[in-house]
Structure 1
Amino acid sequence: MHRAARTATVAIALATAFGITACGSSGGEGVAADAKQTLTVWAMGAEGEKLGDVAKEYTKANPNVNVKVTPVGWDVAHQKLVSAAAASTLPDIAQMGGTYMGEFAEIGALEPVDTKVFDEKDFFPASWEQGVVDGEVYGVPWYVDTRVLYYRTDLAKEAGIDKAPATWSELRSAAEAYQDKAGTKWGLNIQPSGLDTVQSFYPFLYSSGGEIIDKDGKAVIDSPAAVKAFEEYGTYFDKGLAKKSVQPGYDVTKDFNKGDVPMFFSGPWIMTLLNDQYPDLAGKWAVAKVPAGEKSVSMAGGSSLVISKDSDNKAAAKEFITYLTDTKGQEDWFKRTSDLPAATAAWESGPLAEDPNLQVFREQMETAKNSPPLPQWSEITSKVDSAVEAVTQGKESAEDAAKKAQSEVEGLVK
């Protein structure tokens, strides 16, 4: 999910100014599920465009329910949601990621999930946890994504690498071998600085056993494990294995295709992009789980579906979300979008079960870690962005950068 354009603190202040509190509506079901009604849905980006087709099919089978999908661009999604919440005009259903969940749950805009209908055990652990705020579930997992390692298998052979790197030391050795023996310009692409550098850093942080905020809500970005992750990340820049600067909008797949960058971390959509744009690369690349520090852990992303607290169509909304998140609906959504299903049963047959690269994503999702649903999460991660940049640019040691970030993050969570 993309970062909110405005901070959660501002959003909460705005929503409070408009009179939203945790009280919300009565929480009743309102109109019966099979009564004639229009169900409003907001979905973001490409999902918003694709969901309209699914809605048409659903309406054919359920003619009393007109599902009206409004596509919303990610660049304006946060602002639109905040404004709608402030005016009590949220749609019946909205697509929402973990970085928004805490914010909108806190202002009382969301209806708790009916856990008798939607069962935690049917979904990846991290995807379910993304919708949990203060012990209450507000989002039903819709699709997931995580980051894994993409690597050039043909260049690996030239470099004398006979298997995917499974540990940090193997990853460093592979990066060096790609440069020294296969003649690549770089060994690994990881983000050196800028907005959302933290997303590139997560596989190192989580695999070291580190976190930004622990389960008790305390800042721990200066823990020994986190410092170790900063050190490891910085090593690639110190040794000239990774670029110290990249242009905004940099597309790593172009350098991956040319052979300048033989390894990078990214999500499942890159597989489709590589297959479509670089068909000559077929059979020359593969994916592998994030190399382990203490263990192999990557970030968990994706989106959930939420119901507005003020909706009068909660019963129909619940049925439409069931349609989208049961096994059949999840399989259909994957075919339409290549979004990875959040429901684990959808992975048991068809392409999801047969494609070895897709199965890597499934395995990674089993241990993937989601960000805590804190309203100020964007502000918190911006401090980590700055710490990573200080390390990659040689401005501060890993320990000093971590200490500075710790102090700044503590100021945000107190």
Structure 2
Amino acid sequence: MHHAARTVSWALALASALTLTACGGSGGGDVAAGDKQTLTVWAMGTEGEKLADVAKAYEKANTNITLKVTPVGWDVAHQKLVAAAAAGRLPDIVQMGGSYMGEFADMGVLEPVDTKVFKEGDFFPAAWKQSTVDGKTYGVPWYVDTRVLFYRTDLAEKAGIDKPPATMADLRAMAEAYQSRAGTKWGLSIQPGGLDTVQSFYPFLYSAGGEIVSEDGKAVVNSPEAVKALENYGSYFRKGLSEKSVRPGYDVTKDFNKGSVPMFFGGPWIMGLLDDNYPDLKGKWGVANVPVDKASVSMAGGSSLAVSADSSHKAAARKFIQYLTDPKGQADWYDRTRDLPANTEAWKSGKLATDPGLAVWRKQLETAKAAPVQLKSTEITSKVDTAIESVTQGKSSAKEALDKAQSQIQGLVK
């Protein structure tokens, strides 16, 4: 079930933190990188499990280093990190999700990134931005995440369609054609409500030119663009193209395999799930970029690696982070996890450069948008989750729902 957790992961993983720096307060007590030492590392979910394998390879090449990797579940990650930070017990290196970054940078527990060692230009812009708070960067981008459209190519042919939808109008027409001509139960799976519904809404919101909080920190969730996007999103439920009640932990890939759901927006790990769990589906599905409204814009997620400001192993921590975030380490990590490299160089060779499916992700990442770092990110997005649900359930208009969310969010932005 790790992909359900992954949905959460990327909300969390939206911003990430590698902190390395001048304000460490360790009074020059940093152990030299070449000395014998133990580095502690916390990583979430699947990443935590896979990182232990990489750590073994690193220890072989760097015999003075012992790596203690602790996998932490995404469901408990936030409370564990807050408790550790408060007690001054953060590990040397910690994986940080995007929605955490503002809060932990504000606590002063992360080391700013050494920008002589890690260069902004080596990473996707949205990934670097996710770890930057008030002009200082606290995390080195580790992997990136976005959402693209998954669709059943065989059922599209049956519906008389031979290419993916180019525009939002095409998307709705295609959802209708799947139902009426290919006999699918639904047209498109999008989340009707509950935690992190906003993630399902982002491609609609951002492509329409809307956002929740503007770059300069103002609540703008009831802009005309945002209202238009939520009207579009709500229309799928009103027309019976999308299911109004989806149980928590719903696995869309089962219904995609059965053919009852012919389209959904999903993250990169879903490609591996489909290959592993439904090999017979090979050749019957494809991925496509988010259909254009004003533009084709998806959400940017992912994780960063941050260094604790209290660590006395900052030099060695930096070296291990370099190993994980250089092009070679990133390509190796992709092979192990299917996490998309944050370092753009890694996309220039091997499967990442030649696979046509991966080209869709690469293109989407160019325009992917990260939510601005806010101290109260999780509270802000929960207000939007509620607004979306009231529209998908037919309880209020898009404008009413977003006006209400706007008044609540105005009190939460910094």
TM-score (normalizing by structure 2): 0.94
Instruction: Check the 8 A contact 2:341/2:347 in 1, yes or no.
Output: yes
1:195-248 Cα shifts (integer Å, max 9, x gaps): 110000000000001000001100000001100111100110111110111112
Distance in 1 (alpha carbons) for counterparts of 2:28 and 2:210: 42
Q: CA deviation at 1:74?
A: 1.3
Counterpart of 1:259 in structure 2 is 259
Instruction: Check the 8 A contact 2:23/2:309 in 1, yes or no.
Output: no
Q: Does 1:115 align with 2:115?
A: yes
Q: How does 1:52-71 map to 2 (within 5 A)?
A: 52-71=52-71
Q: CA RMSD in A?
A: 1.6
Q: CA deviation at 1:23?
A: 7.0
Distance in 2 (alpha carbons) for counterparts of 1:25 and 1:98: 25
Q: Per the alignment, in what secondary structure is the counterpart of residue 412 of structure 2?
A: helix
For these two proteins, the number of residue pairs brought into alignment is 398
Counterpart of 1:309 in structure 2 is 309
Counterpart of 1:412 in structure 2 is 412
Distance in 1 (alpha carbons) for counterparts of 2:372 and 2:39: 30
Counterpart of 2:211 in structure 1 is 211
Instruction: Check the 8 A contact 2:297/2:368 in 1, yes or no.
Output: yes
Residue type at the aligned position of 2:353:
A
Counterpart of 2:16 in structure 1 is none
Distance in 1 (alpha carbons) for counterparts of 2:138 and 2:82: 17
Q: How does 1:11-160 map to 2 (within 5 A)?
A: 25-26=25-26, 28=28, 30-160=30-160
Q: How does 1:374-393 map to 2 (within 5 A)?
A: 374-393=374-393
Instruction: Check the 8 A contact 2:26/2:311 in 1, yes or no.
Output: no
Counterpart of 1:250 in structure 2 is 250
Runs of 4+ in 1 over 3 A off after TM superposition: 1-4, 26-29
1:154-198 Cα shifts (integer Å, max 9, x gaps): 001011112110110000110011111111111100001111100
Gaps (5+ residues) in structure 1?
Answer: 8-21
Distance in 2 (alpha carbons) for counterparts of 1:125 and 1:259: 37
1:292-327 Cα shifts (integer Å, max 9, x gaps): 110000011111000000011101110000000001
Q: Per the alignment, in what secondary structure is the counterpart of residue 81 of structure 2?
A: helix
User: How has the CA–CA distance of structure 1 residues 237 and 40 changed in structure 2, closer, same or farther, with 3 Å as cutoff?
Assistant: same
Gaps (5+ residues) in structure 2?
Answer: 1-5, 13-21
Q: CA deviation at 1:29?
A: 7.0
Counterpart of 1:402 in structure 2 is 402
Moved more, 346-355 or 383-392: 346-355
User: How has the CA–CA distance of structure 1 residues 185 and 2 changed in structure 2, closer, same or farther, with 3 Å as cutoff?
Assistant: closer
Query: How many percent identity over aligned positions?
Result: 71
Instruction: Check the 8 A contact 1:3/1:378 in 2, yes or no.
Output: no
Counterpart of 1:368 in structure 2 is 368
Instruction: Check the 8 A contact 2:23/2:111 in 1, yes or no.
Output: no
User: How has the CA–CA distance of structure 1 residues 29 and 209 changed in structure 2, closer, same or farther, with 3 Å as cutoff?
Assistant: farther
Residue type at the aligned position of 2:351:
P
